[in-house]
Amino acid sequence: MRVLIAEDDPVSRRIVEITLRNWKYDVVPVADGKAALEILNGENAPRLALLDWMMPLKDGPQVCREIRAEPAPRYTYIILLTTRSGKADIAEGLEAGADDYVIKPFEAIELKARLLAGSRIIELQDQLLEAQEELRHQATHDALTGVWNRAAILDKLEIELQRARRQTTPLTVMMADLDRFKTINDTYGHQAGDVVLRNVAQIMSGAVRVYDAVGRYGGEEFLIVAPGCDVLTAQTLSQRLHSHVGRIAQAANHPAASVTCSFGVVTTIDGNVDSDALIRAADDALYRAKTNGRDRIEVAAAAEAG
């Protein structure tokens, strides 16, 4: 763990530095409050700070106040080093935003314990942020395939549709459904079916353009949102998706390798349509692909997008 030490007295700074190095901390020493603030607000800043109270340019409490005034993604745990031991002084330091204080001259055993407490807080916060990030991922992604889940892909559609309307740009929506997927599950079991779904999701994610989004809309149904994609581009994109799913699934040499996919495609030229109508149009086109023999792409007439 890296610790910033701000102390103007060179001898005291050196003592703290050596003491902390002996305890296996990485030490970043500075001599005044301004330098401390610059480092703490900089990139890859130390998360633990040991600030002297009395320093030139900015004192310890002032550094605390300025750190706490800015919303930071990661918390800085601050310990004030002070010769002041009056209750009012200590209260002032804590109110300025310090987490703890150590009275000088400090006893090594006490400083060590307080640094340990600070490290624990930092580690707890990191774990919390990680868990939060994990939850956010789980809330927006499909657990089986890793692509966006239904709610998230519908959100994306809504956002991109608004953008298309605002900028008068085209937007394409594709509904892709694996053909006779039930047969795969019935013949080879659900685990084989899951593998196929994961493969197809991966293939689709790799075959779309970087700004396109792929989501699992239902069981074996995927929704693709392609912003800025006009009728011609939609043709290229859907053909690429269609052939990739066919080709790579075969190369997988799996019992379920013969999987094919049907596509329903709709494009709005200016976003002047609501998302329900777009989905309905893609669905209708998909239905036509199914009734026309599957393993094909059907494109909705512009009128269908309403």
By CB under 5 A, which span of 51-59, 90-98, 253-261, 287-295 interacts with Mg ion? 51-59
- In the Cβ-directed half-sphere of 123, how many Cα atoms lie within 13 Å? 8
Indicate which single residue of 36, 47, 52, 286 sits in contact with Mg ion (rule: CB under 5 A).
52
Q: Which is nearer to Mg ion, 29 or 227 (CB)?
A: 29
Indicate which single residue of 1, 39, 45, 54 sits in contact with Mg ion (rule: CB under 5 A).
54
By CB under 5 A, which span of 7-15, 97-105, 221-229, 266-274 interacts with Mg ion? 7-15
By CB under 5 A, which span of 2-10, 131-139, 187-195, 218-226 interacts with Mg ion? 2-10
By CB under 5 A, which span of 8-16, 98-106, 146-154, 268-276 interacts with Mg ion? 8-16
Q: Is 107 known to be catalytic?
A: no
Q: Which is nearer to Mg ion, 8 or 230 (CB)?
A: 8
Q: Does 284 bind Mg ion (CB under 5 A)?
A: no
- Report helix angle 60-69 to 33-40, nearest 10: 30
Q: Which is nearer to Mg ion, 111 or 213 (CB)?
A: 111
Which residue's beta carbon is nearest to the bound Mg ion?
Answer: 54
Q: Does 8 bind Mg ion (CB under 5 A)?
A: yes
Q: Which is nearer to Mg ion, 54 or 152 (CB)?
A: 54
Residue 56 CB, nearest approach to Mg ion (Å): 8
DSSP string over the chain: -EEEEE-SSHHHHHHHHHHHHHTT-EEEEESSHHHHHHHHTSTT--SEEEEESS-SSS-HHHHHHHHHHS--SSPPEEEEEES---HHHHHHHHHHT-SEEEESSPPHHHHHHHHHHHHHHHHHHHHHHHHHHHHHHHHHB-TTT-SB-HHHHHHHHHHHHHHHHHHT--EEEEEEEETTHHHHHHHH-HHHHHHHHHHHHHHHHHHS-TT-EEEEEETTEEEEEEET--HHHHHHHHHHHHHHHHHHHHHTT-TTTT--EEEEEEEESSS-S-HHHHHHHHHHHHHHHHHTTSSSEEE--GGGG-
Residue 5 CB, nearest approach to Mg ion (Å): 12
CA nearest to 277, candidates 288, 266, 269: 266
Residue 9 CB, nearest approach to Mg ion (Å): 5
Q: How many residues sit in the footprint of Mg ion (CB under 5 A)? A: 3
For residues 12 and 6, what is the distance between their CA atoms, to the nearest angstrom?
Answer: 10
Residue 42 CB, nearest approach to Mg ion (Å): 22
Active-site choice (66, 160, 220, 298): 220
Amino acid at 93: G
Q: Which is nearer to Mg ion, 8 or 274 (CB)?
A: 8
Residue 92 CB, nearest approach to Mg ion (Å): 16
Residue 11 CB, nearest approach to Mg ion (Å): 11
Structure tokens, 138: 């789980």
Q: Does 59 bind Mg ion (CB under 5 A)?
A: no
By CB under 5 A, which span of 48-56, 68-76, 93-101, 125-133 interacts with Mg ion? 48-56
Q: Would you tell me which residues interact with Mg ion (CB under 5 A)?
A: 8, 52, 54
Catalytic residues: 220
